[in-house]
Amino acid sequence: MKSIYLRSFAATAATVTMCFLIIALSFVGIGRSYVISEYRESMEHTAQEVARMAMAVSHGDSLSSWLLGMSISSIAEATGDHVFITDAEGTVLTCSDRAPVCEHLGMRVSEETLVSVREAGKYDERTDLGGMYPLARYVAAMPVLSSPGSEELIGYVFVSNASDNMLGGWSAFLMMAAIVALGVFCAALLVSLLYSKHLARPLDEMASASRKFAKGDFSVRVRQTDDPSSEMGMLIDSFNRMADSLEQSEKRRSEFIGNISHELRTPMTTISGFADGILDGTIPPGEQDKYLRAIRDETKRLSRLVREMLSLSQTRARASDASRRTVFDLTELILQTLLSFEGRATKKDLDVDPQLPDNHILVRADKDAITQVIYNLLDNAVKFAAPGSCLVLRLYKERGKAYVSVKDFGETIPPDDLPFIFDRFHKSDRSRSMDKEGVGLGLYLVKTILTSHDEDIAVKSENGATEFVFTLALAEQE
């Protein structure tokens, strides 16, 4: 599971890194171009201003005047540019350098450059001006006219600057931006690390739980910290539901094996003891038929037990399947089930009193499972009702529930037995005295089916009357 966590983190970190690199390269490239473009526009504006200044000075003095030189020196110092003025032939007359003897004075700009300035009315190139500068620089130039609107050319203004000077402030800004970006990048990686760990945690817990499942421990569950409607939330919910199902299956399997072992022990001991007695002569030949019949009866009892246990497991599994639940008429189902007991009731001379409503009562449940519930309760009532007594079957509804009551009159169930009446394999004194073939699963099955439907059943037994009442949810609120 660590590999999933690391792969997730590596993928996220690679994505974050790539995004940062793309943004950084784009920012540096676009930002550098923007700074240079803005600086060149500023140089062009400076050239225009110096050209107007030179034109004004030329009316009363020459372009090589000391006053003009001081003015362009101040402008150059304020802007960081290098400024010089030439005559109409391109010879440098005034320079912004303040050295006693400027090295640029007397130098001449190439005719080709002058032609470009004259034809375009301005100049904006990266050049060394024919060797005037040791390295190529950004240069902006403007012609100097004798007067506004005049076509008489009296000189040229050149403004230049090295790209390093232009980008000096930009480099400082880039340094600060890089520090901030590095901090954001580290924070993004940390968030990615924590988020990848958060995403991998449920998978890690699932892997750990699966290992425990393999060892037979089905009690572990994955913590549900995600939105149940999200993919991970649904996965966690499905995993926990699977764990619940496995735990219930294991519990049923253990209970099944434990109960089978418990119930098989007595008849098998009886069969083994009687068989050994016949074989070793302990049981005289004249009594062997009696014990052989006992062995036969115990064998049949074992067969019934196994058959009923298998039927119990199948019925309980079906009752837990919500997809099998449909809407049906409970009144009609009770009447149909009651008809199957007509012969037995007549044989015991029972007076059956079905107190059913005239209208239909619709419920939503597993019809086959509820049929089994009604059948088992009626079977129990007919079995234990005193001959010639009354059997009352009542159906009514109350507070959004349908209530079914099965009441017989016979021997009272001892109070000590009532709390255990729905336990598996439990048989009270009256069932032992009257039910020689039962294995004590009927009422347990009834309780199991109703519990799987989120319903309940109650029993009351006093003064010779025993009544079982269970509930079912109505299909519609009436």
57-83 pLDDT, tens digit per residue, is 888 788 888 888 888 888 888 888 889
Mean pLDDT of 256-275: 75
CATH code of 323-473, in short, is 3.30.565.10
What pLDDT does 378 receive?
92
Which residues, in sequence order, are bridge partners of residue 83? 159
Which one has a higher pLDDT value, 148 or 198?
A: 148
Fold adopted by 218-319: Helix Hairpins (1.10.287)
Query: Among residues 237, 233, 243, 232, which one has the least CA distance to residue 209?
Result: 243
Mean pLDDT of 368-384: 90
What pLDDT does 429 receive?
45
- pLDDT-derived band at 143, boundaries 50, 70, 90: very high
What pLDDT does 101 receive?
66
Mean pLDDT of 224-234: 73
Most confident residue range from 46-50, 278-282, 402-406? 402-406
Query: What one-letter code names the amino acid at 179?
Result: I
Ranges of each domain in the chain: 2-170, 218-319, 323-473
Distance CA 364, CA 424 (A): 27
For residue 228, with 0-12 CB atoms within 10 Å meaning exposed, 13-18 middle and 19 or more buried, which class applies? Answer: exposed
% of the chain residues with pLDDT over 90: 16
Statement: residue 26 has pLDDT above 60? yes
What pLDDT does 279 receive?
86
Q: Backbone dihedral region of 400: left (phi > 0), alpha (psi from -120 to 50 degrees) or beta? A: left
- pLDDT-derived band at 162, boundaries 50, 70, 90: confident
Beta strand pairing call for 390-398 and 351-355? parallel
What pLDDT does 436 receive?
41
The answer to whether 220 touches 209, Cβ cutoff 8 Å, is yes
Statement: residue 435 has pLDDT above 80? no
Statement: residue 313 has pLDDT above 70? no
Which one has a higher pLDDT value, 478 or 110?
A: 110
Helix ranges (DSSP H) in 125-167: 163-166
Statement: residue 471 has pLDDT above 90? yes
Distance CA 152, CA 144 (A): 9
Statement: residue 478 has pLDDT above 70? no
Range in 48-52, 324-328, 404-408, 427-431 with the lowest mean pLDDT: 427-431
Range in 86-95, 240-249, 345-354 with the lowest mean pLDDT: 240-249
The answer to whether 137 touches 163, Cβ cutoff 8 Å, is yes
For residue 310, with 0-12 CB atoms within 10 Å meaning exposed, 13-18 middle and 19 or more buried, which class applies? Answer: exposed
The b/e string for 407-422 (b: 16+ C-beta within 10 A; e otherwise) is: bbbbbebeeebbeebb
Token pair 């590999």 is at which residue?
A: 3
Mean pLDDT of the chain: 81
* CATH 3.30.450.20 is held by the domain 2-170: yes
What pLDDT does 432 receive?
32
Query: What one-letter code names the amino acid at 56?
Result: A
Rounded CA Rg of the chain: 52
% of the chain residues with pLDDT over 70: 86
- pLDDT-derived band at 284, boundaries 50, 70, 90: confident
